[in-house]
Amino acid sequence: MRLDILQQYETQTKCLVALDSIIFGFDGEELKLLLVKRGIENEQNTWSLMGGWVQPEESLEEASSRILYELTTLSDIYLEQLYTFGAPQRDPVERTVSVAYFALINVDDYDNKISKSYEAQWFSMQELPPLLFDHGMMVERAIQHLRYKASQHPIGFELLPEKFTIPQLQKLYEAIFGTELDKRNFSRKLLSTNLLIKLDEKQRGYSKKGAYFYKIDEEKYQKQFNNFLNFLPGNAS
């Protein structure tokens, strides 16, 4: 019986396991995607997600963190497993199954920490270059998942600095959902929840009067997040 089981393993086709990470960032104006040149792209204008192969001694989580660090020098970033892509011809070189992860970071917090060794670069979600293999499908699935999570959980604030303006917050959710929100209605409803703490400081250069900075009241936000769902597309009253 034991020999039969081992023989079954020996007769199976070997398959590589890769990891690809979709790193979203927000710079206060628009949603961006971090891409890299790994040297395996067929054409000069083709870019790639953060990717590599799992080593025998690694867990998926360990491999995803290692690969991201090797390509960008970024560390201590929360990566969430998204989906597994396993189409037989997704990698024309070798049969490879890819486990995709995604993360949300604030561009200003990490931009100066990103290594330029692999030409890591932020791209606007509105102007993405051609992507390697099925990476475009990965990004599309990640966007759909991001929209779902942003409509159910306070995940969007991972993309904001500690202090932000209401216009910045509105631009963030407009970028995530790909739609325009009414400025006055958004501001009025948001302030009515009392989930934000208004600061004395204003954003310079935004307008003649300037826009006040706010920060999240963490305690209220965790307890009353459902109040915020009214601002999101499909949930507005």
Residues 130 and 203 in one domain: no
Flag whether 6 is in a domain: no
Give percent above pLDDT 70 in the chain: 88
Residues 88 and 132 in one domain: yes
| pLDDT level of residue 237 (50, 70, 90 thresholds) | very low
Last residue in a domain, options 125, 152, 179? 152
Q: What pLDDT, on a 0 to 100 scale, did the predictor assign at position 78?
A: 85
Residue given tokens 């990476």 in the structure block:
135
Give 175's contacts (C-beta < 8 A, 6+ positions apart).
Answer: 26, 30, 31, 125
Higher local confidence (pLDDT), 148 or 44 = 148
The total domain count for the chain is 2
Residues 37 and 144 in one domain: yes
Q: How many CA atoms lie within 13 A of 175 on its CB side?
A: 23
Residues 111 and 196 in one domain: no
Q: What pLDDT, on a 0 to 100 scale, did the predictor assign at position 91?
A: 92
Q: What pLDDT, on a 0 to 100 scale, did the predictor assign at position 236?
A: 47
Nearest to residue 146, comparing CAs of 84, 83, 90? 83
Q: Per-residue pLDDT for 232 more than 80?
A: no
Q: How many CA atoms lie within 13 A of 14 on its CB side?
A: 3
Last residue in a domain, options 89, 124, 152? 152
Least confident of 20-29, 168-177, 212-221, 222-231: 222-231
Flag whether 236 is in a domain: no
CATH number of residue 203's parent domain: 1.10.10.10
CA dist 152 and 34 (Å) reads 25
pLDDT tens figures, 163-201: 888 888 888 888 888 888 888 888 887 788 788 899 999
Question: Average pLDDT over the chain, rounded to whole?
Answer: 85
Q: What pLDDT, on a 0 to 100 scale, did the predictor assign at position 224?
A: 65
Residues 192 and 148 in one domain: no
* Sequence letter at residue 112: N
Reduce the DSSP state of residue 216 to 3 states and report it: strand
Q: Per-residue pLDDT for 220 more than 70?
A: yes
Residues 145 and 200 in one domain: no
Residues 114 and 166 in one domain: no
Question: Taking the model in full, what pTM does it have?
Answer: 0.83
In this structure, are residues 49 and 19 in contact, taking their beta carbons and an 8 Å threshold?
Answer: no
Q: Which domain holds residue 177?
A: 162-231
CA dist 223 and 64 (Å) reads 32
Q: What pLDDT, on a 0 to 100 scale, did the predictor assign at position 7?
A: 83
Residues 123 and 89 in one domain: yes
Q: What pLDDT, on a 0 to 100 scale, did the predictor assign at position 227?
A: 59
CATH number of residue 34's parent domain: 3.90.79.10
pLDDT tens figures, 31-84: 999 999 887 776 778 999 999 999 999 999 999 999 999 988 888 888 999 999
Q: What pLDDT, on a 0 to 100 scale, did the predictor assign at position 66?
A: 94
Residues 89 and 201 in one domain: no
Residues 146 and 227 in one domain: no
Least confident of 16-30, 59-73, 104-118, 164-178: 104-118
pLDDT tens figures, 51-60: 999 999 999 9
Residues 18 and 116 in one domain: yes
Q: Per-residue pLDDT for 3 more than 70?
A: no
Flag whether 227 is in a domain: yes
